[in-house]
């Protein structure tokens, strides 16, 4: 009889999914078509980001930081998946962050893989303050990291030491720097990262202030190399 249990479980799961989708149908966050949070046509239309140096924005293979820019940013490079200047990409990001759509992360990242040279790197998500994470119900950076590295090590090596205003709502770079300064610290899981190579995971890269502050904390803790990876730039 035990042989039939897996088949039975699959049938029950399929029935549950059918009923759930019937009661709560999914609509594409870009075009509104029913069936999925991101339909195939809209997903194919999401433009990939041009890989550039995250400091000077000049073209760079794998988003490597140019030698003369590394000291300023504190990161080896930044890999951006989608182009945030595109309206459809912004709708996807907003649906995840402000529409509380955690399932959309898996749909938009399906089929995307890290470059082979980075697959043996430790993933460290940029943390949210506990109050904001409790309000949202999840940390989008951690969800991205989970889907990105199913066969990789995920370490919650950073903690948010204080609540801050949303970076997107700050007027200029100077305000962003002051807003985020000292907002991150090394968590207990981060104590074993000395000498390691890590990838910082976040949803969007704009001015780079958040990534730079996180990289500073990790470098101070002895991390050998810090890369960045974002859903959009």
pLDDT average, residue stretch 157-165:
86
75 and 126 housed in the same domain: yes
What is the pLDDT at residue 158? 97
pLDDT more than 90, % of the chain? 54
| pLDDT at residue 32 greater than cutoff 60 | yes
Q: Is residue 65 within 8 Å of 227, Cβ to Cβ?
A: no
Same domain, 117 and 158: yes
In this prediction, residues 160-175 reach a mean pLDDT of 70
Q: How confident is the model at residue 17 (pLDDT cuts 50, 70, 90)?
A: low
Characterize the bridge pairing of strands 184-186 and 158-160.
antiparallel
Q: Please report where in the chains the tokens 């890269």 appear, as a residue.
A: 205
**Total tally of structural domains belonging to the chain:** 2
7 and 51 together in one domain: no
| pLDDT at position 55 over 50 | yes
91 & 22 share domain: no
Q: Is the pLDDT of residue 95 over 90?
A: yes
The answer to whether residues 34 and 52 belong to one domain is: no
- 132 and 96, same domain (yes or no): yes
C-beta of residue 114 within 8 angstroms of C-beta of residue 93? no
Stretch 21-36: mean pLDDT? 85
Place 4 in a pLDDT band, splitting at 50, 70 and 90. Answer: very low
Q: What is the CATH number of the domain that holds 127?
A: 3.40.50
- Is the pLDDT score of 66 beyond 70? yes
Name the band, by pLDDT with cuts 50, 70 and 90, for residue 175: confident
From the number of C-beta atoms within 10 Å of its C-beta (0-12, 13-18, 19+), residue 6 rates as: exposed
Q: Are residue 116 and residue 37 in the same domain, yes or no?
A: no
Are 27 and 71 members of one domain? no
40 in the same domain as 88: no
**Where would I find the H helices in the chain?**
5-23, 40-45, 67-73, 87-97, 103-109, 130-136, 140-148, 173-180, 209-220
In this structure, of 133-142, 144-153, 213-222, the range with the lowest mean pLDDT score is 144-153
Q: Same structural domain for residues 157 and 201?
A: yes
Residue 168 pLDDT class (50, 70, 90 cuts): low
Range of the domain at 149: 47-232
Q: Are residues 15 and 99 in the same domain?
A: no
Q: 0.85 exceeded by the pTM?
A: no
Mean confidence (pLDDT) of the chain: 86
How many other CB atoms are found less than 10 A from the CB of residue 65? Answer: 24
Average pLDDT over residues 163-183: 71
Tell me how far apart the terminal alpha carbons of the chain are, to the nearest angstrom.
53
């Amino acid at each position: 009889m035990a042989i039939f249990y897996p088949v039975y479980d699959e049938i029950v799961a399929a029935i549950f999914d059918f009923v759930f989708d019937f009661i709560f149908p999914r609509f594409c966050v870009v075009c509104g078509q029913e069936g999925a949070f991101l339909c195939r046509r809209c997903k194919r239309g999401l433009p990939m980001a041009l890989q550039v140096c995250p400091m000077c924005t000049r073209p760079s293979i794998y988003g490597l930081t140019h030698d003369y820019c590394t000291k300023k940013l504190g990161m080896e490079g930044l890999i951006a998946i989608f182009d945030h200047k595109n309206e459809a990409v912004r709708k996807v990001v907003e649906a995840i962050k402000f529409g509380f759509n955690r399932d959309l992360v898996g749909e938009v990242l399906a089929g995307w893989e890290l470059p082979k040279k980075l697959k043996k790197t430790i993933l460290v998500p940029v943390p949210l303050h506990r109050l904001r994470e409790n309000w949202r119900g999840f940390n989008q950076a951690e969800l991205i990291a989970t889907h990105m590295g199913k066969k990789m090590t995920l370490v919650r090596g950073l903690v948010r030491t204080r609540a801050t205003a949303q970076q997107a709502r700050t007027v200029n770079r100077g305000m962003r720097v002051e807003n985020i300064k000292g907002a991150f610290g090394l968590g207990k899981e981060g104590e074993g990262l000395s000498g390691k190579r890590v990838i910082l995971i976040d949803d969007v890269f704009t001015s780079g202030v958040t990534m730079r502050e996180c990289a500073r904390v990790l470098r101070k803790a002895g991390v050998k190399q810090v890369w960045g990876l974002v859903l959009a730039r």
